[in-house]
C-alpha cells in the first residue's frame, strides 16, 4: 500500500492517500488544520485514484489533524456527498482523538444521517478501524 502525499498552496494541511487493492479499502490520513478545502482535496483525490472502486470502504484518520470547521462546513461536506452515489452505502471508519474531534464527527453524523446513507463508526485506533472496514474472510 503506497501513500501519496497531497497538499495545496492555499491549505497548510496534508492529506496522505493510499488504496489497498488487495484488501479493498482506502486510507486517508489528514494532518494539520483541516478546512473544507482540505476535505475537498481528499474527496477529489480518492474519487480520481486509479485503484478506487465504487463504494470502496474508507478509513479517515484525523488523529494528527486539527479543525475549526463549524456545522455550516460540515453541512457543505454532507451536501457534496449526498450527490455522490458512489459513496453511498459504504463503510466509513473515522479515527479521532480528543473530545473536539469526536464532537465534530458526531455533528457531521447527525447532519449527514438522512442524506448520505453510509455505515459510519468512530475509532481511536487506526488498526481497529481498518479491521472494521475489511470484509470478513469466508
Kindly give the pairing relationship between strand 91-95 and strand 119-123.
parallel
Q: Which residue has the higher pLDDT, 11 or 25?
A: 25
Q: Above 80 in pLDDT, residue 91? A: yes
| Three cell numbers written together for 75 | 453541512
* Average pLDDT along the chain: 79
Amino acid at each position: 500500500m503506497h501513500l501519496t502525499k497531497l497538499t495545496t498552496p492555499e491549505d497548510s494541511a496534508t492529506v496522505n492517500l493510499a488504496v489497498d487493492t488487495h484488501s479493498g479499502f482506502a486510507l486517508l490520513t489528514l494532518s494539520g488544520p483541516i478546512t473544507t478545502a482540505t476535505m475537498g482535496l481528499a474527496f477529489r483525490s480518492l474519487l480520481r485514484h486509479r485503484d478506487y472502486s465504487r463504494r470502496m470502504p474508507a478509513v479517515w484518520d484525523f488523529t494528527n489533524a486539527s479543525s475549526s470547521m463549524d456545522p455550516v462546513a460540515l453541512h457543505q461536506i454532507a451536501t457534496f456527498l449526498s450527490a455522490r452515489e458512489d459513496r453511498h452505502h459504504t463503510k466509513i471508519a473515522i479515527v479521532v482523538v480528543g473530545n473536539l474531534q469526536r464532537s465534530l464527527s458526531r455533528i457531521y453524523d447527525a447532519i449527514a444521517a438522512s442524506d448520505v446513507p453510509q455505515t459510519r463508526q468512530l475509532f481511536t485506533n487506526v488498526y481497529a478501524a481498518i479491521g472494521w472496514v475489511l470484509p470478513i474472510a469466508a
